[in-house]
Amino acid sequence: MRFVVALRRASPQVLLLALLAGCAGLPPTAPVLAPAGLPGKVLTVFNMNGRIGARYDGKGFYGNVRWRHDAAGDEVWLLSPLGQAVAQLTRDAGGVDLLTSDQRRFHAADAETLTEDVLGWRLPLQGLAYWVQGRPAPGGGAEAREATADGGVRLRQAGWTIELDKFSVVDGASLPGSVSLRRDGLEVKLAVERWQVGRE
């Protein structure tokens, strides 16, 4: 039932994705419904280029962002508009490392804790890889998923409200051009210039 509702409210791109996924034919062992009862496969490898803005207590961050995600983890670069790296975040099975432009290295078990400690604002990297696909991350927090008035998607999970908008289809995957993450007076926004699905 929930699947049907999600489909009915989904943007044309999401429907297209569902159709494409159907055409491609899922292997018989794959679950028909992925984690949140959504059609299609979870993308495990992608790259994103864009800009990022974070705002909290009248403070914040703004710059360019590069994000590479694969099965082994993530690499995120936060850059000034002229391209100079402000911080490099890498996540793998051993946890998360953050290297600042003065080449100081910090380590923590998860990205949210580390970015809050070092940058002053949280980047929920682990959930984000699922949320940008319009899916809740596996195993965590109460979740809700609904369509917004302007054709976007809103998710709620682990204290975050996630809004996705301006979808386009990239290699058969429907991905947002605009992402907003909110919790406790913090808002992190992404404006995506380019998605790339699969290896470069």
Residues at the contact surface with another protein, assessed by CB under 8 A = 49-51, 53, 55, 58-62, 64, 66, 79-86, 88, 99, 101-103, 178, 189, 191, 193
Residue 61's nearest CA partner among 90, 75, 81 is 81
* Cα–Cα distance, 3 to 15 (Å, whole number): 12
Smallest gap from residue 159 Cβ to another protein (A): 21
* Cα–Cα distance, 57 to 173 (Å, whole number): 36
Q: Between residues 4 and 102, which has the closer beta carbon with respect to another protein?
A: 102
Q: Between residues 8 and 199, which has the closer beta carbon with respect to another protein?
A: 199
Give the 3-state secondary structure of residue 119: helix
Amino acid, single-letter form, for residue 100: T
Smallest gap from residue 71 Cβ to another protein (A): 21
Q: Between residues 7 and 85, which has the closer beta carbon with respect to another protein?
A: 85
Residue 94's nearest CA partner among 111, 78, 77, 69 is 111
Q: Between residues 29 and 103, which has the closer beta carbon with respect to another protein?
A: 103
- Cα angle at 28 between 26 and 32, to 5 degrees? 60
Task: Extract the tokens encoding 135.
Answer: 């899916």
Q: Between residues 49 and 161, which has the closer beta carbon with respect to another protein?
A: 49
Smallest gap from residue 179 Cβ to another protein (A): 10
Let me know: does 89 contact 75? Beta carbons within 8 Å: yes
Smallest gap from residue 132 Cβ to another protein (A): 16
